[in-house]
């Protein structure tokens, strides 16, 4: 059926007393109002929980380094553990949600994540904390991807892009609230002993952010499963009942006034309901085969490649911005009159070592004592245990500029995302995604030329804002593109490859930043530009699917 034919059919349904309609027609007749706003707000809070977990470690590692005996490499391993858990969970959550439902997985994963976060606040060792962060990453990976499918399946085609783009607002809000709470809690001078564990402010900070996941899971229990998913599983009566509730909430009319009494199943819908473990495994196998074979295979490959390249270009810089800000602050503290670019600073660091650049207490303003510092560094390295020596003490303090800079980046991203919501109603996903990622590519390239902390903050804010919008818009495009029975897995597959790209970019950052900085910056910029071009190849809908051989049925 062509798009024009679909419009004619919908108009016919609207103008007659037709009792049968497909999902798109029925959800359109239900209107868009209070019910949809409630679902959007709940899913938005879920997205904020995901944002809290993703950024949690960035604000506690410095203040927790004394309690957990964290070296620099150990801090990196904590971040890697969380990212590894999120990557490992992408595909399992996708296939499970497409087999047994979005809501069940979301509630279970949010509850578990909140409990694990609560327990991790009492961690006494690095190994315990890193292990729990891995579990956090695994659990939060479910709402990190499935929420887009869940909220999108309550909306009609007309409003779905705007709703999914709006989810980016909540993600960015979480990245503003997180440093605000960190600014309030972490500087507190707390020192209590509970069961032999020293309780400082970072533990209170972690404990506070265990609550949103638990409370949101309880709130989500009040809402139903996605009606579009239920219809894809052959549960037509349940799906129709939910659509009638939506109609009543949006219009103020009685649900029995809803003009549709029969739902027509799409040709790709499955009538097999998962009742046993073997049913679930069978359904998972079927949908994996469905997604990984023609004609869906090329779209799976295209969306996965696009997400991998996008996150490769963005998350490398995103995770390193605090480090880069610290480097600039350190340099200008020592050399207030000497401007420097990112790559010049990296080359300088590579030449004279990290001791000079990271010594925030020095009062020197020139390079006359560089030789003395190098000699001092080499001498100190000959000590048996440098980290335990009397020359170093554990300092859990955190530079407050980390919080303020992060708040500014989040605020700029929020403004750009609001504009993107408006534009999403007037522009196609392809154009919006490609435009935002191309602009992000330009700002990424600009990072090579700027020469101050302030300039870096401005460029980094705009870079993050446009890259974030590009990722959110593209995720919505994936939800729209694939059939309901596999779109959760399609989103998770794209997210999996994206996280692999993020891991690769962070590895390259560590290896190349101080030796091949220019290559690194332009590589990230080129990746975002490539992702923008790939976005043009992704269609709004898959043109044609093979028929199942069964006639559409009604309930």
pLDDT tens per residue across span 110-167: 999 999 999 998 888 889 998 999 999 999 989 988 898 899 889 988 888 788 878 8
The helix/strand/coil state of 363 is: coil
Length of the chain equals 555
Asked whether residue 433 is assigned to any structural domain, the reply reads yes
Asked whether residue 115 is assigned to any structural domain, the reply reads yes
Asked whether residue 118 is assigned to any structural domain, the reply reads yes
**488 is written with which tokens?**
């959760």
Asked whether residue 329 is assigned to any structural domain, the reply reads no
Residues 373-420 pLDDT 10s:
433 433 333 333 333 333 345 555 556 777 788 789 888 988 888 888
**CB burial of residue 366 (10 Å; 0-12, 13-18, 19+):** exposed
**93 is written with which tokens?**
């959550």
In angstroms, rounded to a whole number, what is the distance separating the alpha carbons of residues 176 and 414?
Answer: 9
Q: Given the structure tokens 């995770």, which residue do they identify?
A: 319
Beta strands 197-199 and 20-22 are: unpaired
Answer whether 496's CB lies under 8 Å from 291's CB.
Answer: no
Per-residue pLDDT averaged across 85-104, rounded? 83
Beta strands 192-194 and 197-199 are: antiparallel
Of 394, 59, 402, 408, the closest CA to residue 208 belongs to 59
Domain assignment of residue 522, given as a range: 16-265+277-323+398-535
pLDDT (0 to 100) of residue 321: 77
Q: For residues 394 and 64, which has the higher predicted lDDT (pLDDT)?
A: 64
Of 334, 327, 329, the closest CA to residue 514 belongs to 327
Describe the crossing of helices 102-120 and 34-68 by its angle, rounded to 10 degrees.
30
Beta strands 262-264 and 20-22 are: parallel
Flag whether pLDDT at 554 surpasses 60.
no
Q: For residues 268 and 420, which has the higher predicted lDDT (pLDDT)?
A: 420
Least confident of 76-90, 339-353, 503-517, 536-550: 536-550
Expressed in angstroms, the distance from the first to the final Cα of the chain is: 21
Residues 427-450 pLDDT 10s:
888 889 999 999 999 999 999 998
Of 27, 108, 120, the closest CA to residue 82 belongs to 120
- What are phi and psi for residue 421, nearest 5 degrees? -60, -45
Per-residue pLDDT averaged across 61-80, rounded? 73
Q: For residues 32 and 509, which has the higher predicted lDDT (pLDDT)?
A: 32
Answer whether 312's CB lies under 8 Å from 528's CB.
Answer: no
Asked whether residue 349 is assigned to any structural domain, the reply reads no
- The CB density around residue 422, as the number of other CB atoms within 10 Å, is 11
pLDDT (0 to 100) of residue 272: 44
Per-residue pLDDT averaged across 68-89, rounded? 78
Number of compact structural domains in the chain: 1
Helix, strand, coil percentages (3-state) for the chain, rounded to 5, are: 75, 0, 25
Residues 164-218 pLDDT 10s:
878 878 988 898 898 899 888 888 877 766 666 667 788 899 999 999 999 999 9
Asked whether residue 378 is assigned to any structural domain, the reply reads no
Residues 325-348 pLDDT 10s:
767 777 777 777 778 888 888 777
Q: Given the structure tokens 């209590």, which residue do they identify?
A: 192
Asked whether residue 355 is assigned to any structural domain, the reply reads no
Answer whether 430's CB lies under 8 Å from 378's CB.
Answer: no
Flag whether pLDDT at 426 surpasses 60.
yes
Of 216, 215, 235, the closest CA to residue 226 belongs to 235
**CB burial of residue 389 (10 Å; 0-12, 13-18, 19+):** exposed
Please, what is the average pLDDT of the chain?
79
* 417: CATH: 1.20.1250.20
Residues 34-51 pLDDT 10s:
999 999 999 999 999 999
Asked whether residue 393 is assigned to any structural domain, the reply reads no
- The CB density around residue 549, as the number of other CB atoms within 10 Å, is 6
Share of the chain above pLDDT 70, in %: 79
H or E stretch covering 498 = helix 484-512
Of 51, 80, 102, 60, the closest CA to residue 220 belongs to 102
Q: For residues 523 and 472, which has the higher predicted lDDT (pLDDT)?
A: 523
Per-residue pLDDT averaged across 502-522, rounded? 83
């Amino acid at each position: 059926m062509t798009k024009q034919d679909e419009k004619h059919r919908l108009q016919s349904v609207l103008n007659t007393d037709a009792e049968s309609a497909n999902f798109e027609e029925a959800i359109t007749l239900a209107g868009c109002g209070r019910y949809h706003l409630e679902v959007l707000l709940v899913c938005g809070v879920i997205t904020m929980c995901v944002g809290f977990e993703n950024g949690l470690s960035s604000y506690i590692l410095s203040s927790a380094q004394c309690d957990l005996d964290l070296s620099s490499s150990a801090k990196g391993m904590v971040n890697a553990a969380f990212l590894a858990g999120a990557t490992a969970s992408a595909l399992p959550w996708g296939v499970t949600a497409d087999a047994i439902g979005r809501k069940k997985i979301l509630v279970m994963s949010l509850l578990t994540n909140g409990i694990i976060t609560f327990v991790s606040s009492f961690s006494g060792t690095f190994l315990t904390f890193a292990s729990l962060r891995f579990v956090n990453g695994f659990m939060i990976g479910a709402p990190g991807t499935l929420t887009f499918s869940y909220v999108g399946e309550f909306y009609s085609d007309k409003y779905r892009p705007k709703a999914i783009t709006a989810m980016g607002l909540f993600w960015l809000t979480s990245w503003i609230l997180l440093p605000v709470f960190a600014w309030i809690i972490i500087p507190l001078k707390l020192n209590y002993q509970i069961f032999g564990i020293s309780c400082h402010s970072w533990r209170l900070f972690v404990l506070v952010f265990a609550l949103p996941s638990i409370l949101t899971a309880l709130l989500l229990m009040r809402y139903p499963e996605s009606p579009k998913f239920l219809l894809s599983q052959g549960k037509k009566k349940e799906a129709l009942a939910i659509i009638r509730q939506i109609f009543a909430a949006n219009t103020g009319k009685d649900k029995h006034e809803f003009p549709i009494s029969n739902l027509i199943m799409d040709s790709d819908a499955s009538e097999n309901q998962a009742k046993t473990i073997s049913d679930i495994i069978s359904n998972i196998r079927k949908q994996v085969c469905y997604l990984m074979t023609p004609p869906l295979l090329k779209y799976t490959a295209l969306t996965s490649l696009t997400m991998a390249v996008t996150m490769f270009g963005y998350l490398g810089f995103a995770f390193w911005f605090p480090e880069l800000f610290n480097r600039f602050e350190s340099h200008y503290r020592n050399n207030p009159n000497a401007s420097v670019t990112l790559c010049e600073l990296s080359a300088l660091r590579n030449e004279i070592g990290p001791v000079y650049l990271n010594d925030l207490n020095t009062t020197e303003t020139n390079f006359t004592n560089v030789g003395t510092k190098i000699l001092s560094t080499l001498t100190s390295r000959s000590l048996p245990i440098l980290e335990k020596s009397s020359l170093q003490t554990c300092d859990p303090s955190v530079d407050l500029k980390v919080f303020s800079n992060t708040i500014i980046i989040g605020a700029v991203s929020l403004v750009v995302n609001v504009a993107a919501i408006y534009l999403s109603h007037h522009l196609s996903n392809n154009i919006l995604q490609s435009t935002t990622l191309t602009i992000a590519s330009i700002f990424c390239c600009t990072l090579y030329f700027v020469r101050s902390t302030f300039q870096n903050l401005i460029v980094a804010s705009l870079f993050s804002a446009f890259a974030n919008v590009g990722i959110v818009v593209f995720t919505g495009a994936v939800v729209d593109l694939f059939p309901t029975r596999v779109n959760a897995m399609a989103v998770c597959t794209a997210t999996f490859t994206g996280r692999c790209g993020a891991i690769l970019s962070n590895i390259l950052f560590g290896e190349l930043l101080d030796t091949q900085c220019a290559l690194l910056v332009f590589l990230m910029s080129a990746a975002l530009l490539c992702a923008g071009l790939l976005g043009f190849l992704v269609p709004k809908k898959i043109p044609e699917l093979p028929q199942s051989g069964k006639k559409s049925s009604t309930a």
